[in-house]
C-alpha cells in the first residue's frame, strides 16, 4: 500500500467553474501532489480552493496551480496549507501563478501557510502578471509574429506543469487547440 496521492485537474471550459480540493494527511509519511492547469477565456470565472492539512509527521505536500487567462476571464486561487503541532519533519510547497493575456483579464492568488510546528520545511510562491514585454520583443525581433511569440511564451510558462501530466492525457494536443486563437 502506498502513501502517495496525485491529483490532476485540467480546466478548459465553462462559464463558471469551482474547484475544491481538501486533503488531510493523517498517516505518517503520507504525501500528496495536487496539480491544477486552467485556461480561461471570454467571461469565464474560475475559483480554485485547495486545503492541505499535515496531521502526522514526515508528511509531504506539493500544490501547483498554473493558469492562463484571455479576454475578460477571471480566476481566484485560495491555497491553504496547515501543519499541525506534532507533524515534525513535514514538507509543504504551495505555488500559484497566473498569466494574464489581456488588460481585462484578472486574477487573484491568496496563499496561506499555518505552521504550528518548528521542525518543518514550508514555502510558497505566487505571481499574477502579464507577458514579459522584453521577452515578447526579443522573439518578435527574431522575425516571429506577435501571436506566435505569445504562444511560445505561454508554452514556456506552462511547461513545468505540463511535463508532470501523463502522456495519456494528450495535454499538448489539447493545449495547442486552445492556444490557436491567440
Does 169 fall in a domain?
A: no
Domain count, the chain: 1
Segment holding 134, helix H or strand E: helix 133-141
Would you say residue 165 lies in a domain? Answer: no
Partners of residue 20 on adjacent β-strands: 49
* Any domain includes 180: no
- Do the strands 31-40 and 60-69 form a parallel or antiparallel pair, or are they unpaired? parallel
> Is residue 172 a part of any domain in this protein?
no
Q: Which domain holds residue 110?
A: 4-131
Contacts of 5 (CB under 8 A, 6+ apart): 23, 30, 31, 32, 33
Walk along the chain (182 residues) and give the pLDDT tens digit of each residue: 357 777 777 776 567 788 889 999 999 999 999 999 998 989 999 999 999 999 999 999 999 999 999 999 999 999 999 999 999 999 999 999 999 999 999 999 999 999 999 999 999 999 999 999 999 999 999 999 999 999 999 999 999 988 887 777 777 777 777 777 66
Query: Is residue 51 situated within a structural domain?
Result: yes
- State the Cα–Cα distance between residues 77 and 120, nearest whole angstrom: 24
Q: Is residue 43 part of a domain?
A: yes
Would you say residue 53 lies in a domain? yes
- Asked whether residue 163 is assigned to any structural domain, the reply reads no
| Model confidence, pTM | 0.89
Q: Of 48, 136, 138, which Cα lies nearest the Cα of 95?
A: 48
Amino acid at each position: 500500500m502506498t502513501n502517495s496521492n496525485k491529483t490532476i485537474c485540467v480546466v478548459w471550459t465553462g462559464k463558471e467553474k469551482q474547484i475544491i480540493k481538501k486533503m488531510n494527511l493523517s498517516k505518517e509519511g503520507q504525501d500528496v501532489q495536487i496539480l491544477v492547469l486552467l485556461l480561461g477565456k471570454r467571461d469565464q470565472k474560475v475559483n480554485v480552493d485547495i486545503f492541505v492539512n499535515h496531521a502526522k509527521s514526515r508528511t509531504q505536500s506539493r500544490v501547483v496551480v498554473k493558469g492562463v487567462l484571455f479576454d475578460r476571464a477571471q480566476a481566484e486561487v485560495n491555497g491553504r496549507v496547515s501543519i499541525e503541532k506534532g507533524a515534525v519533519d513535514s514538507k509543504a510547497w504551495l505555488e500559484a501563478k497566473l498569466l494574464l493575456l489581456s488588460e481585462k483579464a484578472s486574477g487573484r492568488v491568496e496563499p496561506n501557510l499555518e505552521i504550528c510546528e518548528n521542525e518543518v520545511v514550508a514555502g510558497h510562491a505566487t505571481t499574477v502578471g502579464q507577458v514579459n514585454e522584453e521577452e515578447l520583443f526579443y522573439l518578435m525581433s527574431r522575425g516571429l509574429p506577435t501571436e506566435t511569440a505569445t504562444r511560445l511564451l505561454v508554452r514556456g510558462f506552462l511547461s513545468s506543469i505540463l511535463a508532470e501530466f501523463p502522456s495519456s492525457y494528450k495535454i499538448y494536443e489539447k493545449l495547442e487547440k486552445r492556444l490557436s486563437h491567440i
